[in-house]
Amino acid sequence: MTDALRVAIAGLGTVGGGLVRLLEEHDGLIAARGGRSMRITAVSARNRNRDRGIDLSAYAWFDDAAAMAGAAEADVFVELIGGSDGVAKDACEAALKSGKHVVTANKALIAHHGLALAALAEENGVILAYEAAVAGGIPVIKAIREGLAGNRISALHGILNGTCNYILTAMRETGRAFGDVLQEAQDLGYAEADPSFDVDGIDAAHKLAILTSLAFGVEIRFDDVAVEGIRAISPADIDYAEEIGYRIKLLGIAERTAEGVFQRVHPVMVPTSAPIASVEGVFNAIVTQGDFVDTTVLEGRGAGDGPTASAVAADLIDIAAGRGGPAFGVPAADLQAVPTLSLDRHVGPFYVRLVVIDEPGVMADVTAILRDERISLENVIQRGRDPGAPVTVVLTTHETGEAAMQAALRKIEEMDVVVEPPHFIRMERFQS
């Protein structure tokens, strides 16, 4: 029988503990599917004495993950430490240079250093795998790299952060404000004590950069992703979206055009008829557009010990079975260096919420500004009147350019009757 695949695991937090349990409980199933069993030989974490609810006594312990990466008796190094630099990066580089395959769940590491790590893996004849880095238990990396390999993918969009999706879902269902729901998400363990990476869109941007590279065969350019978070979304915006047949989601959107690639993460109003509109709570979903397959939709849990450990195990089984290839579908040197298009080039409809003093001529002045920027209105909503007092007016536009919309909003904000800065959300017409 083929020798067991020897595995060293760095990082024994929620996911690392889940992976140890999965490999122990499903040993027979994994051996059947990968053609060989797996044996954990070494582990590393910051605190040796922490009670993790699992027995680690049979495994060699390393205090230094980078040292383990080079010295452990292992065929595969599993990195579950996190962070784009520091020990995670050093350990993965050491493992690849020592001829070990690397499996990681670290989206920040891949988004920032994936190209260099992929080239290093190829140079040393080993595999760099990262299924768990994007969308937790959803096998989106395998789907794009293998299942959709015969297609030219022109666009993808997705809910890539479960924390933000939970917050927006709870705001819609309860009518509560962002801050209240964020505190609840922290209490439930869905959001970190410092939630910035999630609610400001950085986590989703890391994942989008990876998907963009894989789907379009281009170099990863995380720094070129346009990013906005959800802090400014109010219950009023969610209510108005429902009234006009939309829901608000934080989406990562990538599009390949003849001129280059769009990469953007920001709140989006999507029609309630679109499949992604019904993805609620902590779930993730990714929608791709291929020239032969048309639309594919993948949905599932995007985080947690079980889903993420499941994705890590899938990569380990592929390695055990001898399945593998370039990390991004083509050799690192063949990834194209195409331009990333500015968000100013975006064209689409917009939702705009204004708080203005209710007096004659205000809307005439607003529409004059929009007219001068060649922006056409689709709908105007104003509930009731209160002459001389602040009132809310909601506008939706037909398709218009981002630059024109921003110019118009700057002019509107300068009007004396505008009580607070205009608030806008981009809209998409997704139907499938």
Catalytically annotated residues = 207
**Rounded Cα–Cα distance for residues 358 and 315 (Å):** 60
- For residue 202 the two structure tokens come to 């950085």
Check if the beta carbon of residue 312 is closer than 8 Å to that of residue 131. yes
Contact 308, 133 (CB under 8 A): no
Alpha carbon 3 to its chain centroid, in Å, reads: 37
CA–CA–CA angle 170, 176, 177 (5° rounding): 105
H or E, element range at 348: strand 347-348
CB-based contacts of 329: which residues, under 8 Å, 6+ apart? 144, 145, 149, 214, 217
Q: Which residue, chain included where needed, has tokens 């921003």?
A: 406
**Of 17, 202, 44, 16, the residue nearest 105 (C-alpha):** 16
Residue by residue, DSSP assigns 113-154 as HHHHHHHHHHHTT--EE-GGGSSTTS-HHHIIIIITTTS-EE
Q: At what angle do helices 107-123 and 87-97 cross, to 10 degrees?
A: 20
